[in-house]
Structure 1
Amino acid sequence: MLTTNLGPGRNKLLLRGLADGVFTGRARTTVATYLDDIPVNYNAPDPDFRLVDVERVEVARGPHGALYGAGAMAGVYRIVTRKPDLGQWSAEALATGATTRGGGPSGAVEGYVNLPLVGDMAGLRLSAYHEVQGGYLDDVVQNRSNVDRTERQGARLSFLAQPKDELSITLTGAAQHLRSEDTHYTIRGIGRKRAVLIPEPHVNDIELLTGVVRYSWADAELTSATGFVRHAYGSLFDATPVQENYTARAETSAYSERTRTRMLVQDLVLTSRGASSLEWLAGLYASEARLNSPSELLAQNTGQPNVSVYSELRHETIREFAGYAELAYEPSPGWTLAVGGRLYHIDRRIRSDVASERFAPRSLDRSNQFTGFSPKISLQRQFENGDLVYAVISEGFRPGGVNTGGTLPAPEAQETFSSDRLRNYEMGVKLERFQRRLSLSSAVYYDVWKDIQTDQFRESGIPYTTNAGDAHVLGLEAEFALRTDNGFLAQLNGRVTRTRTANANLEFIPILAKTLPGAPPVSGGALLSYERPVFGDWTGRIVGQAIYVGLSRVSFDPRLPKTGGFTQTRLLAELSRDGRGAQVFVTNTLDPFRDTFSFGNPFTAPQARQITPQRPITVGATLFAAF
């Protein structure tokens, strides 16, 4: 899994090279983000949850439309939090401080408290954190240092009741507030300096309430997951280069875009239990997402800091209803054939009001509907020694929509964008040897993507969504792990992808880049870890990590620059005993200066080559104690 690097709370998750572009807009995300059992994102940038008091992170690669719906075009990213422990009281606290070469200081405090209630039938778990990421870019126009500072804070409270073994009720409330004081890009050739006329802050706030009820009996288990998500985020960009399109009375201009999303989700699923040659699941899903997206171009003058000369107030309501099921049959020992699918219906209504200083106001009210079926079929063979081989065909999909912004209406050919669909053909193998000390997983996949939706920008900088064309993706990925009895661990992973585009939408672009943007042909990572007893009952651990992200395009337009081609490294040493100890770490150890993301501002990008440099070498320490 890769991300863009526009900045915390602005990034886009990418999986397997199945990228519809590197910008976020109104097209639904290609990677479905879940917190436990509830999706938390519709079309927003990644909320960038800090992984505090987390049990595990799951990544399901490839399209999973049959079980997860429209947001799982390229895969699923799921954060599984730790639930209350009903048996004992516990707590943990961590404090981190770090310094960055040429940048501001960074720090974080985090921890949790677990409280059993009513014997072993109920419990509470509270976790919280506060983090500051010091900036490392200086703005020579604004005469400000370390302008790209980011502050993030959040908390999560979980209540678990288990009155009997067959029944559990989990209630969770979580919130996170993230604010970046400025963007993270600069201009090629001036190092870690920048020259932007006005600050470009960003805010990403998310709150959610969820309730999960599980009831099981001899042959089946029923799970009801209900969730409400409020996601509010916004950015400000320097729009001075295009202000003459909107007004003649501005010294500088800013483009403000905000979105407030409210999602209500209900997922009800019944699954089989027990040993049987036939296993099954069946579910019903309903959701409603309401998106309010006001945007403005603000003229700025001395004494009149913000005067709106263009605005759009866009309201969007998306309702989805689906039924899904999967049957898995074992015709003979070790063989499993699974067939499943999702029947869905999506209603979408868009209302927009546009006002402009130079043009007459206009309004739009449009509705559309989408009904379809997303299938899945798989065959796997598990051997007595635990080895597994499999083949799977799966699909992902996204509904179409309507473009509304701009001082003038979009041309008729660009007013709407169509649904897109991706079909995945995959074969894989999972091997384990030497009592699970050695493991290898590998998969080869071929994807056919029709009518790719992509978020782009008009020449004026106003975002819109269109269909770029088709693509064929051929990929190979592999993961290797080796563990020894003396505390040594080695993990390697890599992906090689070949993407080819075809059938360009001539209303979007006359010449389509041959490869998908944000899809490097090569990426990989490595982790080496060694731990052993030291100083009696203390444990020492040393970890080295490195990832490589290859070059890829920043757009479907072949004239625009490539991005990536960088390596990130991290070294860590830890000393601990009985849950208490300390760590020291170094990131970006060789302090290279490479471009991690060749984009920052759609309004100023045509003027000069924008880049996002790597954070300079950073040294820090963490103290932790568990009770």
Structure 2
Amino acid sequence: MTFGAAAVATGLTLAMTVAAPAEAQSLSIDLRAGSVRDQVTTLGRLGGISVVVTDPGLWSKPVPRLRGRMSAVVALRLIAARCGGEVEAIDNLLYRIVPRRTPRPRPTPPRPNPQPEAAKTPEAPPPDIIVIGSKRDLPFGQTAGQVIRVSGQDLELGGAGGTGRLTSRLTTIASTSLGAGRNKLFIRGIADSSFSGPSQATVGQYFGDLRLGYNAPDPDLRLADLAAVEVLAGPQGTLYGAGSMGGLIRLVPNPVELDRTGGSVAIGASATAHGAPGFDTQAVLNLPVVTDRLGIRLVATAVEDGGYIDKPLLGRRNVNTTRIAGGRGTLHLNIADGWSAELIGIAQRIRGADSQYADRDGPFLTRRTRVVEGFGNDFGQGQFVLDGRIGDIRLRSSTGLTALDLTERYDATTPNDPATLFVQTNRTRMIANETRAWVTHANGSGWLLGLSYTGNRTRLLRSFVLPGQRYPLPGVSNHLHELTAYGEASVRLTPAILLTSGARVSRSVLSGAAEDARVQDVPIVSATVATRHEWSVLPSASLLVDLRGGASAFLRYQQGFRPGGLAVDDDYVRQFDSDRVSTIEVGYRFGRAARDPFALTLTIAHTDWRNIQADFLDSGNLPSTANIGNGDVWTVEASGAIRIAKGWRMEGAVSLNDSSVNEGDPNDLPLQGAPGDQGGVSARLRPIPNIADITARIGVSYEAALGDRSRLKVDGWVRYIGLSRLGLGPVLGDEQGNYADSAVTARIGRDRFGVTVGVSNILDARGNRFAMGTPFVTGKEQITPIRPRTFRVGLDTAF
């Protein structure tokens, strides 16, 4: 049976629909007696909903224990009734508890000669409090910084997608375009290079509380069965440590339901202009083993993205088909009152039949190469999570093991020589633990203390492959052991001002070696080993001011870093130092996009980047890493939403970036990506690679009821990506970007069954997403075209 047939059979047998809304899902509810804040926070995590409480008095009121089988919304209404409030639905994931309205008394005739009443000073409305997932369960309205939350239901509309589904919705995230499981992500202009070398990523990616990787590319997990994805822009060094200099992406899964057997199936088929067809399927199964105590939740996905690049020299069409299969399982156990444990397993397999770049000067969607440049990514992670409470103190400990194997093939053929492949394998193994305790009060004050450990080992193996021959090359291995202590505290200085400060102290032990490559038992380079120790202190501070009318402003200072390491440059080991960013940002926000008739967010940030680590190519075209100088990054980001009519909503966002790299010594810096050239870069270069000067997006959505139970939902958007350059220096100065992409998706049906129709790249635009397919000189300029117009039809159902 072929991969496609097997995956379709799996999808038809197991697959289920997009999860039903909170109103319809039955949950096993057991909320201990406490304050409204305690119960709403726990319910928000369990049911994947957000709650706004407009009265601080309600927020702190005591409520009795709530237990039983019900939906999250029913439970929320019971909580509201017990504290003297009532629930208002803003959308299917966002609700508001307000004081219960009492009938107004009938007016009485005025008395003769009434005395004027004393004038009353109007009170400023209390700030909105939104329950979101964070290390302190800190509500959105009490968070200083740019936090973006995208619901899992929005990401699943149109079938199971990966990180590209997230980048198409947000302007603050940029990505390279080498292919699924090979890309590097950047947030807010913090981009090091186009290549995957020994340096750590600039964006932290997390599933729950544990990172998905250290110095490997984006694993591109399918965004299936998630409550939400949270994006924290700007450095997050105090809470998340190394590798979060640009920001953080956190996947929040839907919880296991302990009293309901159910699931969902979603399947779809697609057709791409100038290319091959594709399919996608997603399955979710929730199964209680012991009611109210032990349960399991399983998720399975399979995707085939049809190719659209032709290779006439090989007589092959649509060579860049990509197949992705994966899933995860969660076993949840309620140990005792307030204590629980979870075992989580995640696995995904990606196979790209060939790369997705084309010749810039050749026929449309063709590449004149004589080799097959396939790639593969195998990802696996296991987690153990212990969660509980001692009095008012919350405790959570997460431990995980991660493995990622990435194999890439590049065309290294030179004119008049035999067809040659360069094969690179990156093998990463990581163990990590984070244990923290925290207390958060209703007014936003509180504290957090935590410890974490990360152990990571990466081996980079390389070789040239010719017909009937293989030439191994020196590789490199890097080891890291990092132990960290961190803390944060918030104090309410006045009813309108919240001050937060924190710090993180880390000790890193780093070692690296050149792997001993041999040809006929003759060593190419000896296994040189070096070790170093580093201490790092990352302070942070923020000030949040609540303004009138529900608006707020913030001032935030934060640092982030990446530890140094060792890299192989030609036939010797080179040491590169740690780099660090310091960001100061100021922001203003009014309203919430998913709730209020009008919402606006504006952020201005400046980042000072010292000792920039950048991956480049040495004289043999092999990835290496060096410090290339210092940089400045200015970012202006604005987003807003407006309700234009009943059921209609418009959203818009724009990100502006201005950056430069400077102060490097031209005699010491490598010319990034210049095969066979050891020249230097100029002392000042603009801009930082791969970051567009402007990224803008406009989206329009419409939702309406059709009859008693059917609904129609339409979501469409247009996104413009401005100009950027592939790398530093003249060789990789090729322009990329300057194109617009678009999509529209519509779903009609009931909660338990629906039909979805969508089209992406509506105008069949021709844009260059990325200007590199192979780093080796082939005599041809390269582009990575956006996927041509693609139609998709899908079905989803729930049980």
TM-score interval, normalised by the smaller of the two chains:
over 0.9
Selected match of 1:129 from 287, 301, 313:
301
The alignment covers a number of residue pairs equal to 610
Contact 2:516-2:523 within 8 A present in 1 as well:
no
Q: Deviations over 1:187-230 (max 9, x none)?
A: 11221011112101111111111011111133211110111111
Contact 1:467-1:505 within 8 A present in 2 as well:
no
1:572 aligns with 2:731: no
Selected match of 1:320 from 482, 485, 491:
482
Q: Distance in 1 between matches of 2:284 and 2:759?
A: 26
Deviates more, 1:433-442 or 1:70-79: 433-442
Residue of structure 2 in register with 1:541 after alignment: 713
Residue of structure 1 in register with 2:654 after alignment: 494
Q: Deviations over 1:544-575 (max 9, x none)?
A: 11111111111011452111111110011211
Alignment of 1:254-269 (within 5 A): 254-269=421-436
Residue of structure 1 in register with 2:365 after alignment: 192
Letter in 2 for 1:352: A
Q: Distance in 1 between matches of 2:549 and 2:433?
A: 40
Give the structure with the larger strand fraction.
Answer: 1
| CA 1:85–1:504: 2 relative to 1, 3 Å | same
| CA 1:389–1:464: 2 relative to 1, 3 Å | same
Q: CA deviation at 1:350?
A: 1.0
Q: Distance in 2 between matches of 1:478 and 1:122?
A: 45
Contact 2:478-2:565 within 8 A present in 1 as well:
no
Deviates more, 1:353-362 or 1:519-528: 353-362
SS at match of 2:238: helix
Residue of structure 1 in register with 2:218 after alignment: 46
Selected match of 1:396 from 546, 555, 560:
560
Residue of structure 2 in register with 1:445 after alignment: 605
Letter in 2 for 1:489: R
SS at match of 1:141: helix
Q: Distance in 1 between matches of 2:336 and 2:681?
A: 64
Runs of 4+ residues deviating >6 angstroms:
none
Residue of structure 2 in register with 1:231 after alignment: 404
Contact 2:512-2:567 within 8 A present in 1 as well:
no
Residue of structure 2 in register with 1:295 after alignment: 462
Selected match of 2:704 from 528, 532, 535:
532
Q: Distance in 1 between matches of 2:591 and 2:725?
A: 37
Q: Deviations over 1:55-83 (max 9, x none)?
A: 10010100111111111010001111111
Selected match of 2:343 from 142, 150, 171:
171
Residue of structure 2 in register with 1:31 after alignment: 203
Q: Distance in 1 between matches of 2:391 and 2:509?
A: 38
Q: Distance in 1 between matches of 2:234 and 2:264?
A: 36
Q: Distance in 2 between matches of 1:257 and 1:376?
A: 39
Structure 2 gaps, min length 5: 1-172, 670-679
1:349 aligns with 2:511: yes
Letter in 2 for 1:477: E
Q: Deviations over 1:140-199 (max 9, x none)?
A: 111111110100000110011224441121211110000101111111122101111210
Contact 2:511-2:566 within 8 A present in 1 as well:
no
SS at match of 2:542: strand
Contact 1:519-1:552 within 8 A present in 2 as well:
yes
Q: CA deviation at 1:260?
A: 1.4
SS at match of 2:701: strand
Letter in 1 for 2:438: T
Deviates more, 1:177-186 or 1:108-117: 108-117
Q: Distance in 2 between matches of 1:98 and 1:564?
A: 26
Residue of structure 2 in register with 1:247 after alignment: none
Q: Distance in 2 between matches of 1:337 and 1:381?
A: 9
The TM-score with structure 1 as length reference comes to 0.94
1:424 aligns with 2:583: yes
Q: Distance in 1 between matches of 2:414 and 2:356?
A: 19
1:361 aligns with 2:521: no
| CA 1:460–1:217: 2 relative to 1, 3 Å | same
| CA 1:384–1:479: 2 relative to 1, 3 Å | same
Residue of structure 2 in register with 1:475 after alignment: 635
Q: CA deviation at 1:104?
A: 0.7
Residue of structure 1 in register with 2:276 after alignment: 104
Q: Distance in 2 between matches of 1:164 and 1:132?
A: 44
Alignment of 1:145-224 (within 5 A): 145-190=317-362, 191-224=364-397
Letter in 2 for 1:208: Q
Q: CA deviation at 1:405?
A: 4.9
Q: Distance in 2 between matches of 1:576 and 1:275?
A: 40
Q: Distance in 1 between matches of 2:443 and 2:661?
A: 45
| CA 1:275–1:618: 2 relative to 1, 3 Å | closer
| CA 1:405–1:493: 2 relative to 1, 3 Å | same
Q: Deviations over 1:8-58 (max 9, x none)?
A: 111111111111122221110000010111101111111001111111001
Q: Distance in 2 between matches of 1:278 and 1:620?
A: 48
Backbone CA RMSD of aligned residues: 1.9
Contact 1:277-1:331 within 8 A present in 2 as well:
no
Letter in 2 for 1:285: S
Contact 2:597-2:642 within 8 A present in 1 as well:
yes
1:311 aligns with 2:489: no
SS at match of 2:420: strand
1:409 aligns with 2:572: yes
Q: Distance in 2 between matches of 1:277 and 1:75?
A: 23
SS at match of 1:47: coil
Selected match of 2:777 from 594, 604, 607:
604
Letter in 2 for 1:240: T
Q: Deviations over 1:306-333 (max 9, x none)?
A: x232322433211000000001111211
Q: CA deviation at 1:384?
A: 6.1
1:626 aligns with 2:798: yes
Q: Distance in 2 between matches of 1:227 and 1:103?
A: 40
Q: Distance in 2 between matches of 1:172 and 1:122?
A: 14
SS at match of 2:369: coil
Q: CA deviation at 1:275?
A: 4.0
Q: Distance in 1 between matches of 2:711 and 2:524?
A: 71
Q: Deviations over 1:472-492 (max 9, x none)?
A: 111110111223672212111
1:382 aligns with 2:553: no
Q: Distance in 2 between matches of 1:473 and 1:383?
A: 29
Q: Distance in 1 between matches of 2:312 and 2:738?
A: 28
Q: CA deviation at 1:117?
A: 2.7
SS at match of 1:403: strand
Quote the sequence identity (%): 29
Q: Deviations over 1:207-266 (max 9, x none)?
A: 111011111133211110111111111101122229x9xxxxx72221111111111001
| CA 1:269–1:360: 2 relative to 1, 3 Å | closer
Contact 1:285-1:322 within 8 A present in 2 as well:
yes
Residue of structure 2 in register with 1:563 after alignment: 736
The TM-score with structure 2 as length reference comes to 0.74
Q: Distance in 2 between matches of 1:442 and 1:159?
A: 41
Q: Distance in 1 between matches of 2:625 and 2:755?
A: 48
Alignment of 1:328-339 (within 5 A): 328-339=490-501
Q: Distance in 1 between matches of 2:503 and 2:650?
A: 38
Deviates more, 1:275-284 or 1:440-449: 275-284
SS at match of 2:511: strand
Of the two, which has the highest radius of gyration? 2
Contact 1:530-1:542 within 8 A present in 2 as well:
yes
SS at match of 1:67: helix
Q: Distance in 2 between matches of 1:186 and 1:604?
A: 14
Q: CA deviation at 1:277?
A: 7.4
Q: Distance in 2 between matches of 1:513 and 1:608?
A: 25
Contact 2:476-2:567 within 8 A present in 1 as well:
no
Residue of structure 1 in register with 2:447 after alignment: 280
Contact 1:340-1:376 within 8 A present in 2 as well:
yes
Selected match of 1:510 from 665, 681, 694:
681
SS at match of 2:572: coil
SS at match of 2:499: strand
